[in-house]
């Protein structure tokens, strides 16, 4: 397992289900990570910085050979979409659990994939398939397709090198910024231009391809709730996708995958316009963070499917013509303060209680007492709920969030509690800008009880203690009271409540 956190744990569990031994790599701060504790074997790969540890492709392949690992699962992030790494594995005779290096490279370039996908007859976001090498070319092309436009890095990912341009005056600055950001992030400053789609939804289709030419689509996920183009909440099915649309999107997704001879698990992302038209956005050549919502409504284990495909097994009939059963929602629990600009909140998890009961699944990479380091993505865990319909799934999410306790660090939990009270979210009226708009308008403020209520609780507690002391005849211990105060104060400051 060439990864860390919750996805390493997820894969180790699937391996154990299959009776396959597991080995995980770790960096210094991850020495006591949950994945290290759960895996059969664990090997230090380097210090904290990813480039010296989780991105050390050759060292990882060498380690795999040395310990006699048959295969490497890359998870998501780090080397998961690195065609060179997949090639290294192939050359070393270690199976890479994912698509071929060639399929990955074809989809890794947005320009290249747009060309291939157009040829395959799949609708793409209107715009160019050519490199914009000069400012003049950018100006000419923007005038041709009309504003607003989106500048994008061909090698892009994670929203980097992407710029929305609303009017001609802003193009020059955006063009330079997109190129330099792309160059710095990906070592490739190639940019191209797309038409900006107004208030679309992000809907994606999960696909699987085996080594014998069979490709199946497993339905869609609605991922429109994003903060700065990063997904925060995902669900399946989409509240607006009809069975006919699902059929069309799945057919398009299968065509896109076949266009590059795709194998293993992948995701074809679409933008769904308010008109009901959908356009290919990009393909992610790996397992996605949000894969559990598909698992919950199909009953499949996608990691197991990945392992089977990697071993050359055929996709059986159980993958054909699947329709979603019920409804699943996932919220991403980040160690961030959603009410102070989403600043990371590293530290020790002092207390942790996961919700339980019908329809609840926790995919966590942490445990009570674990240290959340500042070095990596701040996602701690994913909370996934299932219900027989969307309304039941929402109610179960509310129950789960009410039971959940994470203390010692700030998390995005209060934001989700507020979101569940939002009428647009409840009604499924989503678009990719909705969360940012609501946050900016202060519409998703945390439930806050007044400071007077806090004072009232403290006064009542003191009164209770004093009464107990009078009843038992023993005076209240001064030190005991003081430490109670100290503890309360400490907890408040650690939790970083919005009014502190
Ligand atoms: P990256 O690979 O950097 O994540 P994507 O191409 O997947 O970039 O786009 C990320 C997000 O940006 C999408 O989910 C969507 O919210 C928004 N987006 C991308 N392209 C467009 C577009 N042409 N019009 C409107 N929104 C877009």
Expressed in angstroms and rounded, the spacing between residue 229 Cα and the centre of ligand 1 is 7
Domain harbouring 146, CATH code: 3.30.1490.20
User: pLDDT for 67-105, tens place per residue?
Assistant: 999 999 999 999 999 999 999 999 999 999 999 999 999
Q: Which atom of ligand 1 is nearest to the CA of 160?
A: 3
User: pLDDT for 282-295, tens place per residue?
Assistant: 999 999 999 999 99
Spell out which residues line ligand 1, taking CB within 6 angstroms: 125, 150, 156-160, 162, 194, 196-197, 200, 202, 226, 229, 269, 271, 281-282, 432
Q: Which residues contact 236 (CB under 8 A, 6 or more apart)?
A: 219, 220, 221, 222, 293, 294, 296, 297, 324, 327, 328
Domain harbouring 18, CATH code: 3.40.50.20
158 lies in the same domain as 93: no
Q: Whose CA is nearest to atom 21 of ligand 1?
A: 196
Domain harbouring 289, CATH code: 3.30.470.20
Q: Is the pLDDT of residue 448 over 80?
A: no
Q: Which atom of ligand 1 is nearest to the CA of 433?
A: 16
Q: Which of 59, 79, 97 is the last residue of a domain?
A: 97
User: pLDDT for 30-74, tens place per residue?
Assistant: 999 999 999 999 999 999 999 999 999 999 999 999 999 999 999
409 lies in the same domain as 262: yes
pTM: 0.89
Domain count, the chain: 4
Q: Which of 286, 332, 361, 390 is catalytic?
A: 286
237 lies in the same domain as 163: no
pLDDT, average across residues 419-442: 97
284 lies in the same domain as 428: yes
Can 491 be counted among the known catalytic residues? no
Expressed in angstroms and rounded, the spacing between residue 126 Cα and the centre of ligand 1 is 13
16 lies in the same domain as 158: no
Which residues form the domain of 21? 5-97
16 lies in the same domain as 44: yes
176 lies in the same domain as 155: yes
Q: Which of 137, 172, 195 is the last residue of a domain?
A: 195
223 lies in the same domain as 356: yes
314 lies in the same domain as 355: yes
Expressed in angstroms and rounded, the spacing between residue 410 Cα and the centre of ligand 1 is 28
Q: Which of 177, 195, 213 is the last residue of a domain?
A: 195
Res 229: pLDDT: 86
Expressed in angstroms and rounded, the spacing between residue 234 Cα and the centre of ligand 1 is 16
Res 157: pLDDT: 82
Q: Is the pLDDT of residue 232 over 90?
A: yes
Determine, yes or no, domain membership for 452.
no
User: pLDDT for 184-198, tens place per residue?
Assistant: 999 999 999 999 999
40 lies in the same domain as 144: no
Determine, yes or no, domain membership for 108.
no
378 lies in the same domain as 249: yes
Q: Which atom of ligand 1 is nearest to the CA of 223?
A: 14
């Amino acid at each position: 397992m060439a990864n860390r956190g919750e996805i390493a744990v997820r894969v180790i569990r699937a391996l154990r289900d299959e009776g396959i031994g597991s080995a995980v790599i770790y960096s210094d701060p991850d020495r006591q990570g949950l994945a290290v504790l759960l895996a059969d074997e664990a090997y230090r790969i380097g210090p904290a910085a990813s480039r010296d540890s989780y991105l050390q492709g050759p060292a990882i392949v060498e380690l795999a050979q040395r310990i006699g690992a048959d295969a490497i699962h890359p998870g998501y992030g780090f080397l998961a979409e690195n065609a060179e790494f997949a090639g290294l594995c192939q050359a070393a005779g270690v199976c890479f659990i994912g698509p071929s290096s060639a399929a990955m490279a074809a989809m890794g370039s947005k320009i290249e994939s747009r060309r291939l996908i157009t040829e395959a007859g799949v609708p793409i976001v209107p715009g160019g398939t050519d490199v914009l090498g000069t400012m003049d070319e950018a100006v000419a092309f923007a005038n041709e397709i009309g504003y607003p436009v989106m500048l994008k890095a061909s090698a892009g990912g994670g929203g980097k090198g992407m710029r929305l341009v609303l009017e001609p005056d802003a193009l020059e600055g955006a063009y330079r910024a997109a190129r330099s950001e792309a160059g710095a992030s990906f070592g490739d400053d190639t940019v191209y231009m797309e038409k900006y789609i107004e208030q679309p939804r992000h809907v994606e289709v999960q696909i699987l391809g085996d080594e014998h030419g069979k490709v199946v689509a497993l339905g869609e996920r609605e991922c429109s709730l994003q903060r700065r183009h990063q997904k925060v909440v995902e669900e399946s099915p989409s509240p607006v996708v009809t069975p006919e649309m699902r059929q069309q999107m799945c057919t398009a997704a299968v065509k896109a995958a076949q266009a590059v001879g795709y194998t293993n698990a992948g995701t074809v992302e679409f933008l769904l316009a308010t008109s009901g038209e959908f356009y290919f956005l990009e393909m992610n050549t790996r397992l996605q963070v949000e894969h559990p919502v598909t698992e919950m409504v199909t009953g499949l284990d996608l990691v197991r499917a990945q392992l089977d495909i990697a071993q050359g097994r055929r996709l059986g009939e159980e993958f054909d013509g699947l329709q979603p059963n019920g409804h699943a929602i996932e919220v991403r629990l980040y160690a961030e303060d959603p009410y102070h600009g989403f600043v990371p909140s590293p530290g020790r998890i002092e207390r942790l209680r996961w919700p339980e009961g019908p329809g609840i699944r926790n995919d966590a990479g942490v445990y009570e007492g674990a240290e959340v380091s500042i070095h990596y993505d701040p996602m701690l865990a994913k909370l996934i709920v299932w219900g027989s319909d969307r309304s039941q799934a929402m109610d179960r999410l509310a129950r789960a969030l009410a039971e959940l306790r994470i203390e010692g660090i700030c998390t995005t939990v209060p934001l989700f509690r507020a979101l569940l009270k939002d009428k647009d979210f409840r009604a499924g009226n989503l678009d990719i800008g909705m969360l940012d708009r609501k946050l900016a308008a202060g519409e998703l403020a945390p439930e806050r009880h007044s400071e007077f209520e806090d004072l009232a609780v403290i006064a009542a507690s003191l009164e209770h203690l004093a009464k107990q002391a009078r009843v038992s005849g023993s005076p209240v211990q001064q030190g005991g009271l003081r430490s109670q105060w100290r503890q309360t104060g400490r907890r408040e400051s650690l939790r970083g409540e919005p009014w502190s």
